[in-house]
Amino acid sequence: MATQQYKAWSVVIMSTLAFTVCFMIWMMFAVIGIPIKATLGLNETQFGILIATPVLTGSLARLPLGMWTDKFGGRLVFFILMLCTVIPIWLISYATQFWQFLLIGLFVGIAGGSFTVGIAYCARWFPRERQGTAMGIFGAGNTGAAITKLLAPIIVVGYGWTMVPKVYAVLMLVTAILFWFFTFTDTSHKVGKSVSVKEQLAALKDPRVWRYSQYYSIVFGGYVALALWMTKYYVSEYGFDLKTAAFLAAAFSIPGGLLRAVGGYFSDKFGAHTMTWWVLWVSLVCLFFLSYPQSDITIQTISGPTTFHFGLTPTVFTILLFTLGVFFAIGKASVFKYISDDYPDNIGVVSGVVGLAGGMGGFLMPIMFGALVDLTGIRSSAFMLMFGVVWVSLMWMYFTEVRPVHAEKELTRAQNSDSPLTTTV
């Protein structure tokens, strides 16, 4: 009979594998969307809608999926979710019109809801002090975005884009079967039948949930948005072909997935607040430089006009993007460490709310990226938008977490002093 520890790690390993496949499929349009765009003659905004459509349903489904996970258990919900996407994935290869891609993409997008199911399913198999690591390992399934960027272009070049959905549909079916046979159910992980939907949703009144949602909308929503957008960005900005562009874009997706486990470990060791604070600051600096567009400045000198060119080379751009991916990975883990610390008995629902917010960021931002490019003609406007979102998150964290802590320390110091009005130099 399998031991509890064996069951726990089997659940984590198989859930991570399943989530990786789901994320591969969720990010599929990041690659096949480029030939589809050329075939249908889409503009940048329409392309943004195309690649973001699966993210919409994957995001909206996270809250009910989280509630069902708490009620019925992660194993059953995860298995049914994967089976429900197999046929829609296959049907993508037969779509020929824009509305058909959007409609089928909505059904395929349900695969993205697997995150909320798996995060709650895995966390409950471990004690509180190890949940950050377990959730971080599971979250490494985000690497599916990088796998798609490496695998899908090869299939597209060799067999055409229509072969990609067919391969992914078969892969999803096989993964679902393996998942069912190598995972387990623990009835003690389910909430009681007496717990109502109203009681489950009570967490929505907690302002901390919305603060964590804001953090996650950048570290995960921004990750999804850039994972979808960067292949196209490399093609348009630097003129790379599809395979090279997808390979370079993987420099963001790979650390953004793999290092989530490291982020979970650091969050267990140093705390969710500390890690998230530094993640946001480093992200802000990276996005500041990424936002700068290719520019030529002409200066009138005594010898006549002199022109200087400013702009990121592909190498510098990729290094900054890689750094951003590393810290987004750590941030994704640290936000969910907040959740496991504050809501140990309601992880499914709260992670569903936060995951929904993050996913909606991943849905809205690619559309806004495309609209900004169409309106301004500046491709780096995508990073300008994200810079603003990170700045909002930092301010929110400062006024709700950092400043109150400093105020409390000052009050304690004053109370412990013989004379509160005396300043010690």
* Cβ neighbour number for residue 340 with a 10 Å cutoff: 27
What does the pLDDT read at residue 279? 93
DSSP reduced 3-state for 296: strand
CATH class of 7-186+199-412: mainly alpha
Residue 425: is its pLDDT beyond 50? Answer: no
Choose among 231, 258, 262, 256: nearest CA to 245.
Answer: 231
pLDDT in tens, 299-341: 988 888 888 888 899 999 999 999 999 999 899 888 888 887 8
Instruction: Give the pLDDT mean for 175-187.
Output: 90
pLDDT-based confidence at 90, cuts 50/70/90?
very high
Instruction: Give the pLDDT mean for 52-78.
Output: 87
**Helices and strands in the chain, H and E counts:** 20, 2
pLDDT above 70: percentage of residues in the chain: 90
Which residue did the predictor score with more confidence, 406 or 34?
34
What does the pLDDT read at residue 146? 84
Residue 379: is its pLDDT beyond 80? Answer: yes
- Amino acid at site 122: C
Taking the C-alpha atoms of residue 44 and residue 100, their distance in angstroms, rounded to an integer, is 18
Question: Where in the chain are the domains?
Answer: 7-186+199-412
Taking the C-alpha atoms of residue 190 and residue 315, their distance in angstroms, rounded to an integer, is 49
Instruction: Give the pLDDT mean for 217-232.
Output: 88
DSSP state at residue 327: H
Written as six digits, the tokens of 232 are 């196209």
185-210: burial string, b at 16+ Cβ within 10 Å, e else: ebeebbbeeeeeeeebeebeeeeebe
What does the pLDDT read at residue 123? 83
Instruction: Give the pLDDT mean for 248-262.
Output: 81
Say if CB 120 and CB 74 are below 8 A apart: yes
pLDDT-based confidence at 180, cuts 50/70/90?
very high
Instruction: Give the pLDDT mean for 15-19.
Output: 94
Written as six digits, the tokens of 177 are 């079967």
Instruction: Give the pLDDT mean for 21-48.
Output: 91
Instruction: Give the pLDDT mean for 205-210.
Output: 83
What does the pLDDT read at residue 258? 74
pLDDT in tens, 115-149: 889 988 888 888 877 777 787 788 788 888 889 98
Query: 296 forms bridges with which residues in the sheet?
Result: 309
Q: 146: number of CA atoms within 13 Å, CB side? A: 17
Instruction: Give the pLDDT mean for 70-79.
Output: 88
Mean pLDDT, the chain, integer: 86
What does the pLDDT read at residue 200? 61
Residue 185: is its pLDDT beyond 80? Answer: yes
Say if CB 231 and CB 30 are below 8 A apart: yes
What does the pLDDT read at residue 328? 92
Say if CB 11 and CB 121 are below 8 A apart: yes
